[in-house]
Structure 1
Amino acid sequence: MRQLNTMFEPRGKVLNVMISAACSMGFLLFGYDQGVMGGAIGSSSFVRQFNHPSPLQQGLITGLYDLGCLVGSIATFIIGERLGRRKSIYVGCIIVIVGTVLQVTARTVAHLIVGRIVTGAGVGIMTSIVPTWQSEVTGADERGIYLTVQSANINTGFVLSNWISLGASYATSEFQWIFPIAMQVIFAVYLLVTVLFLVESPRWVANHISLDEATRIIARLHNKDETHEDVFKVREEIRLALEEETPPSWADLFRNGCQQNLRRMLLGFGVLYMQQLTGINSIAYYFPVVLTEYLPVSSSMAHIIAAVAATQYLMFSFVPILFIERIGRRTILIWGAVALMVLSALIAVGFNIPGQGGAIMTCVMYCLFYDAFAMSYLNVPWMYAPEINSLRMRSKGGAIASASNWLFNGIVVTVTPSSLASIGYKYYVVWAVFNASFIPMVYFLYPEVRGLSLEQIDHIFEGRGYGWSCLTQGVRESVKGAAAIEAARPRATGGDVEADPSSENSDKDEPGTVGVENVKRGET
C-alpha cells in the first residue's frame, strides 16, 4: 500500500476531489441499495421465484437489510477507531461483495434475507465511517460542500437503481431482479481500488500514530510545504485538541462531563432519527408498489414514474451546494421540516381524491416531498454528527448516528406495507406530525456549526451547564458565530473548580448560552 502511494501521490485539490469521489461512491452504494429492492420485489420473476411474498415478507426482505446496516454501525462503534478510516472502508466493501453474491444466488426468502443482512452490515460500516473521513480531511470553508456532494450521491445510486430496474423489468427471466442486485459489486470494487491511493485522516493519524506523520498528510491535502503557516495552523489545532481532550473510556460515552460527549452523541443520533422519521423511506422504498396497489397506475407506468421522480430528486439533491455554507445547518433543518410537514398532509389529501386526479396529485406531492427532503434532511444530518463530535470520539459518534439512521430506517420500511394496508392515507398524517415536532427540537437544541473548524466546534461544548442549559448550552452563541463562541468560553482560573450554580453569573445564565463553569485547560 505504501509503495502504491509512493508511485502516485495526488496532492491538494486533486487529492481532495479523489477523496470526495471515494466517499461519494460509498454513499452511492447506500442509495443504490435503498432503491434496488423496491424495483426487484415487484418484478414478475421475483414474485414467481419467491412464491408471491406477502406484505409482511416484503417488509422483512426490505427491512432486515437495515438490521444488517445497524449491526455494521455497531461494529464500527466498537472497532472502527482502532482500524482507522480507510481500513474500515476496506472491510465494508468486502462484506458488501459477499452479501451481494448471497443475494443473487438466493432461491428462498430466508436465503435472500441472509444476503440482505450481510450486505447491510457492509453498508452500515461505510455509512458510519465515510462522513467522518470526509469531515476530517476537509477545511472548514468547504466541508459543507464536500459533505453535500457525498450525501447527494445517495440519490445518484437511488436513480441508477430505478433506471436499471426499469430496464431489467422488460426481461422475462430472473435477469429482472438478479442483474440490478449484482451491480453493487462494481461499486464496491471501485471503492476498494480507489482508496488505496488516498490518505488516512490526519486527525486519526495524529491520535494513533504521530503528529509528524499527520503533518505530512496535512501538507499533501493543502499542497503546501510542511513548514507552511497554513499547515502549521491545522497541526496546532489538532495538537491542542488532543492535549485538551481527556483520553476517553467507555464510561465517558454516557456521561456529560466537561467535553459533553453524551450530549454530542445524542445530537448526532437525534438528527438522523429526524431524517428517517420525515417518512422519506416510506416513499423511496415502495414508490412503484404504492402506485400499483393503492392508486390506478399500471406496473410499467409505475416504474417509469418512479424512475422520473428519482431523477428530478437527484437534480435537487445537488442544489444545497449553492447555499449550505451561507444559510447554515439549523435554518435548513427548520424550514425543511416545515415543507415536509405540509407535503405529508397533501399526500394524505391526494389519497382521498378518487380516480386519475388523485393519482396525479399524489405523484406530484411525492416528487415535491423528494425535492424538499433533498434540499434539507438528505445532507445535513449526515454531516452533523462528524462535525460536532470531539476528535477522540468522532468515529464512535459517527457510528452512533449511523446506527440511528438504520434503526429507524428499518422500522419505517418494515412497517410501511402493513401500515398502508391497515390505515391507508392516515399513515401520511403520522409523518406530518413527526415533521412538525422537529421544528422546536432543532430550534432549541441544535447549535450552528457553519464555517467553524472541527476544533472550534469543540468550544461550543465546553462546560456542563445546569438544568435546561445542559441541553441548550452554546446554541445561541453558535448562531452568532465563532467570535461569540470564543467570548463565552469558560476560562481556567488555576484550579479544576466548577462554578457554583448559585453564583451571580450562574443565576443570569439563560437557556442556549454557554455555562460559566471554570475548566482547567490550556489557553489557545
Structure 2
Amino acid sequence: MYQISNIYVLAAFGTIGGALFGFDVSSMSAWLAAPQYLEYFNYPNSNVQGGITASMSGGSFLGALAAGFLADKWGRKVALQIACVIFMVGCVIVCASQNVGMLIAGRIINGLSIGICSSQVCVYLAELSPAKIRGRVVGIQQWAIEWGILIMYLLCYGTQRTVEGPAAFRIAWGVQAIPAFILLGALFFFPESPRWLAGRERWEEVHTTLANLHGNGDPSDTIVLAELEEVRKAQAVAAQAQGVGFMQLFGPKIWKRTLAGTSVQMWQQLLGGNVAMYYVVYIFQMSGMSGNTSLTSSIIQYVIFLVTTGCMLPVIDRFGRRQLLLGGAFVCMILHYTTAAVMATYGVPVDQVDGNSNLRILITGAPGKAVISLSYIFTGIYGLTWAPIGWIYASEVFPLKYRAKGVGLSAATNWIFNFALAYFLPPAFTNITWKTYIVFGTFCTAMIFHIFFTYPETARKSLEEIDILFDSNIPPWKSAKAQASVLDERAFQVEHKNESIDEKIETVDIV
C-alpha cells in the first residue's frame, strides 16, 4: 500500500487528533446560552451543566491512562485509528441525545478518544519527525487544539442563527465526526512509528520507513543511517525500561521530576484557562451581553487565543521556560484579582441573567466592558505562556527511559483537574459569583512560589544537562546560567535480568 512520506503532510493530517479536543470544547461552550439547547434539555441547573461539561474530561482521563497500553500493544497508528472510531461512536450518541444522561454518555465516549489522541498524537509525530523539528511538535499540537475550538465555535454560531429547534445542535455535534473520519482514512496511508517497529525487531521495516521519511527513499543516505542508529539506541534504552511502572516515577532519583511534570499540568488547569475556554459565554452574559453579541464576543476571544499561540511558537525557544511560566502566572494573578474587584464593586445581585438562573450577578456599562477586556487580556497571556509551555515542560523533565510513563501520568493529571474545574465552575458562578476569581488568583499566587523554588530551567539544555540540574544542589532560580562542563563518568550497571539499568554520575563540574 502507498504510504505518505512527506513529514509536513503527515503533521497536517496528524494534528487533526489534537483538533478533536478543540471541537469538543466549543461544541459545548457555544450552546450554554442557546435557546435550542436550553429548551430541549430543560434548562440544566449549575450542577447538571457542570456534569455535562466535565463528562468529556472524565472520559479523557481514562483514555489517557489507557493510551500507553494501546499504543505499545498495537502500535501508534492503530491506537489513533481506534481513537477515531471511538470518537465517531461518541458523536453519533451525542448527536442523537434524547436526554441529559445520553448526552453525558456520548461526551464520556468522546473523551476516551480525546484522551488517547492528546497523549499519542505528539508521540507519534515526534517519532516520525526529523530531530531538528521535534521540539515544535508539542506546541503545534496545542495550536491544533485552538484551531479546533475556533472552527467548531463558528460552526455552532452558524447553526444557532440559521436552524430552528434541536436540529441546530444536532448538526454541529454530528459534523465534528467528519474530521475523525478523515483522520481514520488517512492513517491507513501513514507509516508505523519506526520506534514501535524497532521494539518488535522489525529492523528492515524501520530502515525502509526512515529512508522514505528522511532520505527520499535512499536507504544509504547519511541522515537515514544516523537516524537508524538513534532508533537502535532508543530501543536499547526502551528495553532497559520494560520494568518501569508508575510507582518507579516516585523513586528517590526521579520524584522531583515527576513532581515538576505533573504539577505543571495541574497548575496549567488551576491558572484559570477553563474559565476562558469552557464558560466564556457565561462571562460575557454576566457582563451585560446577550444573544448574538455574546457569541460574537466569544469568537473574538478564541481568535486571540489562536493568534497569540501562533505568534509564540516560532520564537518560543528564545525564552526561558521559567520566564514564561512565572511571567504568565504573575500577570494572570493580577488579572484575576482585578476582575474580582470590578465584579464585587460594580456587580448587582440578580436571580438570573438573560434567562440563565445559573448566573446570579450582572455587571453592566463600563465595568462590564472592563470585565470583557480583562478576559481578552487573560486569554492572550494564556496563549503566549501557559497554553504551550505547560505541555513542553512536562515532556522535557523526564529522562528518556521514564518519559513515556511520566508524560502519560502528567497528561492524566491535566485531565483530572480539567474534569474537576469543568464541574466546579457553574456552581461557583451560581454560589460565590465574583469570589470564583479570587480562588483562581490564589492558585496563581501559590504557583508563582512553587515554580520559583522548584522548577529548574530546561530551555536550550541537553537532556544530560537537565538530568544534572535535577540531581545537583543548584537552586532552580540560578539554573538558567548553569551548564555542565564536564561529565566525567556515566556508568550503567545491570543489577538483574529484568531490571532497568541504573544511571550514576560520579563527578560533575558546574560553572
Shorter-chain TM-score range = 0.7 to 0.9
- Which residue type is aligned with residue 491 of structure 1? R
Distance 1:236 1:479, change over 3 A: farther
Are 2:266 and 1:267 equivalent residues in the alignment? Answer: no
The aligned amino acid for 2:248 is R
Correspondences of 1:9-408 after superposition (within 5 Å): 9-10=4-5, 15-170=6-161, 171-223=163-215, 225-244=218-237, 247-249=240-242, 252-255=245-248, 260=253, 262-292=255-285, 294-354=286-346, 355-408=364-417
2:30 touches 2:157 (CA, 8 Å); kept in 1?
A: yes
1:499 is aligned to none
- Per the TM alignment, residue 350 of structure 1 is displaced from its structure 2 partner at its CA by 2.9
Aligned equivalents of 1:287, 1:277: Cα separation in 2: 16
- Compute the displacement of 1:336 (Å): 1.7
**SS in structure 2 of the partner of residue 169 of structure 1:** helix
Helix, strand or coil: the match of 1:279? helix
Q: How far apart, in 2, do the equivalents of 1:442 and 1:433 lie?
A: 14
Cα deviation, residue 143, structure 1 = 2.6
Matched with 2:463 is 457
C-alpha distance in 2 between matches for 1:226 and 1:38: 50
Please state how far the C-alpha of 1:156 moved relative to its aligned partner.
Answer: 0.8
Gaps of 5+ in 1: 497-513, 520-524
Say whether the 8 Å CA contact 1:337–1:436 is kept in structure 2.
Answer: yes
The Cα of 1:254 is off from its aligned counterpart by 1.7
Higher mean C-alpha deviation, range 150-159 or range 219-228: 219-228
- Contact 2:396–2:458 (CA<8 Å) still a contact in 1? yes
Deviation at 1:198, TM superposition (A): 2.3
- C-alpha separation in 2, matches of 1:40 and 1:93: 24
Q: CA deviation at 1:345?
A: 1.8
Q: Is residue 203–residue 391 contact of structure 1 (8 Å, CA) maintained in 2?
A: no
Q: Is the 8 A contact 1:95 1:118 kept in 2?
A: yes
SS in 2 for 1:487: strand
CA displacement at 1:210 relative to structure 2: 3.5
Instruction: State the AA in 2 paired with 1:362.
Output: V
Cα separation, 1, equivalents of 2:98 and 2:443: 39
Cα distance, 1:493–1:305 mapped onto 2, change above 3 Å: closer
Structure 2 residue 449 is matched with structure 1 residue 422: no
Structure 1 position 334, deviation (Å): 2.2
Q: Write the distance in 1 (CA, Å) between the matches of 2:233 and 2:426.
A: 52
Alignment correspondent of 1:522: none
Could you tell me how far apart the structure 2 residues matched to 1:518 and 1:257 are?
Answer: 24
Q: CA offsets per residue over residues 150-187 of structure 1, 9 Å max, x none?
A: 21121111111222222222232212211221121111
More deviation, 73-82/273-282: 73-82
How big is each residue's C-alpha offset from its partner over 1:75-100, in whole Å with a ceiling of 9 and x where there is no partner?
11433322222111111110000001
| 1:432 corresponds to | 441
8 Å CA contact 1:461–1:473 kept in 2: the answer is no
TM score, norm. by length of structure 1: 0.83
Shift of 1:27: 1.2
Check the 8 A contact 2:249/2:406 in 1, yes or no: no
Contact 1:65 1:119 in 2 (8 A): yes
Report the CA distance between 1:62 and its aligned residue: 0.5
- Decide whether aligned partners of structure 1 residues 493 and 94 sit closer, same or farther in structure 2, where only a CA change above 3 A counts: closer
Matched residue of 1:142: which SS? helix
Counterpart position of 2:349: none
| CA distance 1:199–1:387, change in 2 (3 Å) | farther
Q: Quote how far apart the aligned CAs of 1:196 are.
A: 2.3
Q: How many residues align?
A: 482
Aligned alpha-carbon RMSD (Å): 3.0
